[in-house]
Amino acid sequence: MDTTAPAIESLDTDTLREVDRCDACNARAYVQVTFSGFRSLLFCGHHFAAGEVKLRATALDITDERWKLALSETQRNKVTA
């Protein structure tokens, strides 16, 4: 077996964990915004949406995992079906 072949890395990024919390409200974070100096802030879907225009204008990088919000219920149903 060829172990050098790259694993089928997730099509989805999976950077943010359940322990990652929104810096504004402490809900689960779904977006990580990195600024120059590699400082970063975490946002729930609600607070990222609230500041999205400003954040996109100033961020170096944005990890947006809000797809989890849409898929989690469907995937949970698939797993348990």
- Annotate each residue in 28-67 with x if it binds Zn ion (CB under 5 A) or - if it does not, as one string: ----------------x--x--------------------
Alpha-carbon gap, residue 39 to 60, rounded angstroms: 10
Q: Of 8 and 53, which CB lies nearer to Zn ion in the complex structure?
A: 53
CA–CA separation, 6 and 4 (whole Å): 6
User: Which residue's structure tokens are 């890395």?
Assistant: 9
Nearer to Zn ion, 24 or 62 (CB): 24
* Partners of residue 31 on adjacent β-strands: 43, 64
25 near Zn ion, judged by CB under 5 A: yes
Interface residues with Zn ion (CB under 5 A) are 22, 24-25, 27, 44, 47
